[in-house]
Amino acid sequence: MMWRTLYTFALCVAAPFILLRLWWRGAREPGYRRHIGERFGSYRGARNEKPLLWVHAVSVGEARASAALVRALAAAHPGYELLVTCMTATGRKALKELHGESVRIAWLPYDYPGSVRRFLEHFRPRLALLVETELWPNLLAGCAGFGVPVLLANARMSEKSARGYRRLGGLARPAIGSLALVCAQSSQDAGRLRTLGARRIEVTGNMKFDSTPDAVKRAAGKVWRERLARPVLLLASTREGEEKMLLEALPAWDGKLLVLVVPRHPRRFDEVAMLSQSRRSRGEFPGAQDRAHLGDTMGEMDFYYAAADVAVIGGSFAPLGGQNLIEACAAGVPAVLGPSMFNFAEATRLALEAGAAVQADSAADAIRVALQLLLNSKEKEKMGAAGRALCEAHRGATQKHLDYCGELLAGTATAPARR
């Protein structure tokens, strides 16, 4: 309790800076300046009349990973309303694109006790699902006080993250110990979460393997690629500094290759545009002399993968842990990874073993491998087929989550909410 009190005090001291950062980010992404009251537990509109299931997907990756589960929950529990919360402007936009008006979408409040209490009083969820590693001490304590069971869905815990949680054991252990159930991506994730205090853990696999590429966007990407009639190297979900690093590693232009650059965060689109000759958001089609084309639209990764011959996965050339390589596998596109993939350790291991991906030691090595694959159609097709087969073989995590949700709901059907 003392650790959580100190944590809350630190949050209160930081409040002015949190608001300033929120407003600053809103200058580039206006979504951060909307519905600010929700950040502190103030929600407009009537309270839900039906019982409510709540899923928290912090940003775009979690929104996509949980999309199939949200739809499955709605189908399996038609008497319930669905609430999906997030923390980022891109995440909220992605949720709107994925679910439209079929679910309620809101900001998760900051982790102040009063904000959490107002959130729980307003929505009164029967079950909470936190996707991947969203472990907020006051939120979890509030859920325990209101009798809301919490399932940590698609849970992952890298060794680096586990070390951080161990250093804050007095704060983290009670929070993790309060979870009703952890559905871990792998046995390694399960083991780390168990040592951090999780009481019940089931290894269910990665829900991202259940994602299916959007057929319309995929078809549009293929048409775009046919019209282009040039080989396409995709730099997917790149992070700060990676675009320049990878583009500079390319040899002299052969007059044919198009590099399709898709940054991870929209706030960097204008910055990366300086390295490109055309950009998709302006309706521009790459000209014959364009070497780099900027993919600066949201929600179109299925389009970009369908347009690509080979993908280099961003976030992996600095110690950031990588980005989602499963999207490339599902699209049948060979994936070239950098050395830092700890956030997708199990998926990386499986993809490497299956022959769907290659891991490089540096940006220069990654470009060299990617260019070799572009010239080797037989190997490229083999890796693409291996990626699709890998995704097919590891489907089923969503259904396992759905089953456990039903079990937890059955246990709360008659239990009165605590306060």
Question: CB–CB of 121/60 below 8 Å?
Answer: no
Which burial class, exposed, middle or buried, applies to 159 when counting CB atoms under 10 A from its CB (0-12, 13-18, 19+)?
exposed
Phi, psi (degrees; rounded to nearest 5) at 160 = -65, -45
Note every long-range contact of 134-138, with CB atoms under 8 Å and residues 24 or more positions apart, other chains counting.
134/56, 134/58, 134/62, 135/165, 135/172, 135/175, 135/176, 136/111, 136/175, 137/4, 137/7, 137/111, 137/171, 137/172, 137/174, 137/175, 138/4, 138/7, 138/8, 138/111, 138/112, 138/113
Pairing, β 104-107 against β 125-131: unpaired
List Cα–Cα distances, 309 to 150, 261, 304, in angstroms. Answer: 41, 13, 10
Query: Rounded CA gap, 4 and 112, in Å?
Result: 11
The beta strand positions in 71-217, using DSSP E, are 81-86, 104-107, 125-131, 150-155, 181-184, 201-203
DSSP state of 54: E
DSSP state of 109: P
Quote the tokens at residue 180. 């009703």
Question: CB–CB of 357/337 below 8 Å?
Answer: yes
Which residues participate in catalysis according to the annotation? Answer: 62
CB environment 59-73: b (16+ within 10 A), e (fewer): bbbbbbbbbbbbbbb
Sheet holding 335-337, edge to edge: 278-279, 292-294, 258-263, 232-238, 310-313, 335-337, 357-359
Return the SS3 of 200. Answer: coil
